[in-house]
């Protein structure tokens, strides 16, 4: 069984979606959720899901307290589900290629410090982009620069508002993030899948074929 720590700073909708996706999968366990915000709604979601949640302020990430907590609880992987703090170097080094993040744009575009949530979608619309999407990637010492695992795209129409782009991107997040987590954490790369898929206005592609989702991985839904 893989112990996966979820980190979230806000509402926690992605965290809840991930937990529900794996609810009946005995190979995966989510022992707790960590947040850097004491009033984040993710704590309420955790209560409803009967999962402990913990608040750690920024200093606790920087002084090694959070890393100690992760190691003491034998965490195998860390998933950032809308977590806004930069992961300290000691945690990155302790979990090489074991920290997974989702970014609401097609990296390397619209990444870096300050590019999160509505800021990203506003920049996409302002830049008159014709497509956007999600990027699932490993975390390294720099914002949004870790190795890309998977990307899924959606069209951006000239008439789209940032809110409409956000809705399309959220659909991709909910659809693909749990599947890719399963691929990476459970190491089921030997199951064949298509490296590109077209679903109406949505295109999914991967730069790491052995860690992308396939219809065969949807059995946990």
Tens digit of each residue's pLDDT (9 = 90 or more) over 107-146: 999 999 999 999 999 999 999 999 999 999 999 999 999 9
Q: Which domains does the chain show, CATH number per domain?
A: 1-95 (3.40.50.170), 101-221 (3.40.50.170)
Q: How far apart are CA 104 and CA 82, in angstroms?
A: 10
Please report which confidence band the pLDDT of residue 187 belongs to, taking 50, 70 and 90 as the band edges.
confident
Annotated catalytic sites, by residue?
A: 103
Nearest one of 149, 129, 133 to 199, comparing CA atoms = 133
Please report which confidence band the pLDDT of residue 192 belongs to, taking 50, 70 and 90 as the band edges.
very low
Name, in order, each residue with C-beta under 8 angstroms of 16's C-beta and a sequence gap of 6 or more.
Answer: 45, 49
Q: How far apart are CA 142 and CA 139, in angstroms?
A: 8
What the block records as the tokens of 129 is: 């982009």
Mean residue pLDDT of the chain comes to 88
What SS3 class is residue 157?
coil
Residue 219 CA, distance from chain mean position: 20
pLDDT digits (tens, 9 = 90+) for 6-58: 999 999 999 999 999 999 999 999 999 999 999 999 999 999 999 999 999 99
In the block, tokens 């992760």 appear at 70
The model's pTM: 0.85
């Amino acid at each position: 069984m893989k112990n996966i720590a979820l980190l979230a700073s806000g509402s926690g909708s992605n965290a809840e979606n991930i937990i529900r996706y794996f609810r009946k999968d005995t190979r995966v366990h989510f022992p707790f959720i960590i947040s850097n915000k004491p009033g984040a709604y993710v704590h309420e979601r955790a209560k409803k899901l009967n999962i402990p949640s913990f608040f750690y302020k920024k200093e606790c990430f920087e002084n090694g307290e959070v890393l100690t907590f992760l190691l003491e609880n034998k965490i195998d992987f860390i998933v950032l589900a809308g977590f806004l703090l930069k992961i300290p170097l000691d945690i990155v080094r302790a979990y090489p290629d074991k920290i997974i993040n989702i970014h609401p744009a097609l990296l390397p575009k619209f990444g870096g410090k300050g590019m999160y949530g509505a800021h990203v979608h506003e920049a996409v619309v302002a830049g008159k982009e014709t497509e956007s999407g999600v990027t699932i990637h490993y975390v390294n010492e720099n914002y949004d620069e870790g190795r890309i695992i998977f990307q899924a795209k959606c069209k951006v129409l000239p008439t789209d508002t940032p809110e409409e782009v956000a809705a399309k991107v959220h659909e991709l997040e909910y659809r693909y993030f749990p599947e890719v987590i399963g691929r990476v954490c459970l190491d089921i790369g030997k199951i064949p899948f298509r490296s590109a898929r077209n679903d109406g206005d949505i295109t999914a592609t991967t730069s790491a074929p052995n860690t992308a989702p396939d219809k065969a991985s949807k059995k946990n839904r």
